[in-house]
Amino acid sequence: MASTLDWLQNPQRLVFFTGKGGVGKTSLACASALHWATQGQKVLLVSTDPASNLDEMLGIELCDRAQSIPDAPGLWALNINPETAAEQYRQRVLGKLDDPADQLRVREQLSGACTTEIAAFDEFVGLLADDHAAFDRVVFDTAPTGHTLRLLSLPQAWSGFLAEHEGGASCLGPHSGLKMQEQRFRAAFRRLTDPAQTVVVLVTRADLSALLEASRSHSELVALGLAQQHLVVNGVFRAEDPGDPVAQALRQKEQAALRDMPAPLARLPQDQVELRDYDMVGLPALRALLEPQPPFLAPAPDGPLLNTLDAERWPPLSTLVDELAQQGHGLIMVMGKGGVGKTTVAAALALGLVQRGHAVHLTTTDPAAHVKDTLGEAPPAGLRVDRIDPKAETEAYIHKVLSTKGQGLSAEALAFMEEDLRSPCTEEVAVFHAFSRTVAEARHTFVVMDTAPTGHTLLLMDATGAYHRQMAKELGATRFVTPLMRLQDPQHTQVILVTLAETTPISEACALQDDLRRAKIEPWAWVVNRTLSGSGTRDPLLQRRQHHEVQQLERVAKGMANRRALVPWQAVPPVGSAGLSALLEPRVGAEPDLPV
């Protein structure tokens, strides 16, 4: 029964599910919330991910107010909507001002992307306080790791900032208005760091990269004061055909990763959840996830297995590289849901362009990305690798502002300006400026950008749009080029959407494509990563999963993508030049080399 899983036994009132994108945070958060509701508790399930897919999984359109879930007595759910939260936040701040001139000035201040972040954070703080005291338990389905660490650090950051800065104004409005929130922020921080009230469920997979990120997250959460943690290894594969080479390779790979788990993780209380042969969509599937022998059986898909792929319909990744290489330069933005393999695909594309004689800059906007780990060695000649480091960019931005706009100011005025720049939201501004420089660099060379998971990337796109509108307003008919205009230019930017052959990742890629098109950015290609299709597996569980993949591949092929490529699952982790080169020209259907 589900009750044998330790993390379900009398946890704290505030339960956070976090981890690397794609490890199954949302599935486990939903299944756990359903379990507690079934026990008679009143449970609120909250998504803090700007690209939440709770709606699809629960089968109901959610909003920013708690809604009861049909056929799930005791369960309520909501999405924190950054746009709605930002407008409500603006109205609250403006409502405290009587002077129309002050209102106009502050509304301009509140138009930036950092206001959207702090507004979503303000909603989050309310959930930690007594705003929803009627619920026995509040379950947080969080955004992928980097975005979540930023969110969880804000209560401490804003409490400290407000304690040290008595006056002035930030991009969030007058500090006097924010000071009214200081006690609320402090209360939120106390609850987050109280082991009797808050537990963090670190979700991972039996995969080396996911375990390494979980270990880094564990250390950073402990540094923030969130030491009460529980590890859940999700999607552990139990082979049904031990003689199948694909199943054997997958099992050996997972066992090696678990055996070499970082020591800090191994010391945490731990549970394992087995891999299922169906998508986690709908209440029956979610309820069955935590059962050792689930009574739920997914409908058997129709149609044949794809053991031999049509290279014309599903070409390898190298075909995209060949077409990109003909352009000579440009920005290649790799986007998608967390955990779909954006970093690996971005590194493979960059390596492929270098192999074709081009100089390439490979970078990332993901706070939790580790591109150098994927390369696994010193970059080859012609490939420059770095990342947009939020802390380093913030310090550089502060120094630049002080040395330019601070010239000629008195010591007192300069100190006041520096205090204002120490606002936590300065980080978002600094990251945007670094992003803008990188976008412009692609006029002369290839830049391959591994972006943060969807939600965080959309916030960055919002900042790009806000800057464009500001420049258009200030410059009028004057000729200018903004980062948004470069992103909209198909001669400058090619957006590649990466997904998996599963219902939720493909639905989220569709939603991302729609968001980009509304911003007049047309995605250039889709990459379906880590497919079992074409593997030739005989294992019954893997074949059932492969049947579902065929349905999802047809969704993509029938009109979703102008160009597409398929990357089959690799038995050996695609790390280093050899592993990444294998992604470009995979041996489809070949018997896998077993990992040592």
Give, in order, the Cα–Cα distances in Å from 429 to each of 2, 143, 230, 463: 45, 20, 34, 8
Q: Determine the Cα–Cα distance for residues 403 and 401; give it in Å rounded to an integer.
A: 6
**Higher pLDDT residue, 262 or 569?**
262
Specify the pLDDT at position 168. 44
Least confident of 208-212, 334-338, 383-387, 409-413: 409-413
Tell me which DSSP letter residue 8 carries: G
- What would the mean pLDDT of 511-538 be, rounded to a whole number? 86
Does the structure show a pLDDT above 60 at 308?
no
Q: Which DSSP string do the residues of 51-82 spell out, in sequence order?
A: T--HHHHHTS---SS-EEPTT-TTEEEEE--H
Using DSSP bridges, classify how beta strands 525-531 and 564-568 pair: parallel, antiparallel or unpaired: parallel
Specify the pLDDT at position 466. 62
Catalytic annotation, pick one of 504, 533, 535, 537: 504
Q: Which DSSP string do the residues of 220-244 spell out, in sequence order?
A: HHHHTT---EEEEEEEE---S-TT-
The band of 117, judged by pLDDT with boundaries at 50, 70 and 90, is: low
**Higher pLDDT residue, 331 or 127?**
331
103-112, 179-188, 370-379, 395-404, range with greatest mean pLDDT: 395-404
Asked about 25 being catalytic, the answer comes back as yes
448 - beta bridge partners? 332, 362
- The tens digit of pLDDT for each residue in 482-491 reads 777 888 899 9
**Higher pLDDT residue, 289 or 21?**
289
- What would the mean pLDDT of 438-462 be, rounded to a whole number? 76
Q: Determine the Cα–Cα distance for residues 260 and 282; give it in Å rounded to an integer.
A: 35
Specify the pLDDT at position 130. 64
Look at domain 317-390+445-584 and name its CATH class. alpha beta
Q: Determine the Cα–Cα distance for residues 420 and 148; give it in Å rounded to an integer.
A: 25
Catalytic annotation, pick one of 19, 24, 74, 173: 24
Give, in order, the Cα–Cα distances in Å from 164 to each of 179, 217, 249, 265: 11, 28, 56, 36
Q: Determine the Cα–Cα distance for residues 201 and 273; give it in Å rounded to an integer.
A: 13
Asked about 49 being catalytic, the answer comes back as yes
Q: Determine the Cα–Cα distance for residues 452 and 364; give it in Å rounded to an integer.
A: 7
142-151, 173-182, 382-391, range with greatest mean pLDDT: 382-391
Does the structure show a pLDDT above 80 at 420?
no
Does the structure show a pLDDT above 80 at 326?
yes
Catalytic annotation, pick one of 18, 49, 207, 352: 49
Specify the pLDDT at position 353. 96
The total of other beta-carbon atoms located within 10 Å of residue 231's CB is: 25
- How does the average pLDDT of the chain come out, rounded? 79
Does the structure show a pLDDT above 50 at 370?
yes
Does the structure show a pLDDT above 50 at 109?
yes
- The tens digit of pLDDT for each residue in 154-209 reads 555 554 544 555 544 444 444 444 544 666 777 777 888 889 988 999 999 998 87
Specify the pLDDT at position 465. 59
Strand order in the sheet with 198-205: 67-68, 75-79, 43-47, 137-141, 14-18, 198-205, 229-236, 270-274
Secondary-structure breakdown of the chain: helix, strand, coil percentages, each rounded to the nearest 5 = 45, 15, 40
**Higher pLDDT residue, 325 or 210?**
325
Using DSSP bridges, classify how beta strands 75-79 and 67-68 pair: parallel, antiparallel or unpaired: antiparallel
| Strands in 289-442 per DSSP E | 330-335, 360-364, 383-385
Per CATH, is 9-289 categorized as 3.40.50.300? yes
Asked about 26 being catalytic, the answer comes back as yes
Asked about 339 being catalytic, the answer comes back as no
The band of 282, judged by pLDDT with boundaries at 50, 70 and 90, is: confident
- What would the mean pLDDT of 387-399 be, rounded to a whole number? 84
Helix (H, G, I), strand (E, B) or coil at 555: helix
What's the number of CA atoms in the CB half-sphere (13 Å) around residue 363?
20
Does the structure show a pLDDT above 50 at 20?
yes
Least confident of 26-30, 105-109, 259-263, 561-565: 105-109
Helix (H, G, I), strand (E, B) or coil at 207: coil
Asked about 336 being catalytic, the answer comes back as no
H-type helices in 193-336, by residue range? 208-223, 245-259, 263-266, 283-289, 317-325
Asked about 303 being catalytic, the answer comes back as no
Give, in order, the Cα–Cα distances in Å from 341 to each of 99, 336, 455: 51, 9, 16
- The tens digit of pLDDT for each residue in 347-366 reads 999 999 999 999 999 998 77
Task: Specify the DSSP element, H or E, that contains 377.
Answer: none
Question: Quick check: 185 and 158 in contact, CB under 8 A?
Answer: yes
Q: Determine the Cα–Cα distance for residues 525 and 47; give it in Å rounded to an integer.
A: 29
Catalytic annotation, pick one of 18, 19, 21, 22: 22
Residue 299 carries which side chain, given as an amino acid letter?
P
- The tens digit of pLDDT for each residue in 454-506 reads 555 555 666 565 655 665 665 555 665 677 788 889 999 999 999 998 887 88
Specify the pLDDT at position 570. 78
| Strands in 289-369 per DSSP E | 330-335, 360-364
Catalytic annotation, pick one of 18, 20, 21, 27: 27
Tell me which DSSP letter residue 6 carries: G
326-335, 396-405, 507-516, range with greatest mean pLDDT: 326-335
Specify the pLDDT at position 324. 96
Q: Determine the Cα–Cα distance for residues 525 and 536; give it in Å rounded to an integer.
A: 26
Structure-block tokens of residue 279: 């998508």
Question: Quick check: 329 and 442 in contact, CB under 8 A?
Answer: yes
Structure-block tokens of residue 232: 């859940």
Residue 161 carries which side chain, given as an amino acid letter?
F
Helix (H, G, I), strand (E, B) or coil at 201: strand
Does the structure show a pLDDT above 80 at 276?
yes
566 - beta bridge partners? 528
| Strands in 237-381 per DSSP E | 270-274, 330-335, 360-364
Specify the pLDDT at position 170. 46
Instruction: Parse the chain into domains and list their residue ranges.
Output: 9-289, 317-390+445-584
Q: Are both 9-289 and 317-390+445-584 of the same fold? A: yes
Q: Determine the Cα–Cα distance for residues 433 and 482; give it in Å rounded to an integer.
A: 12
Q: Is the dihedral of CA 445, 451, 455, 460 positive or negative?
A: negative
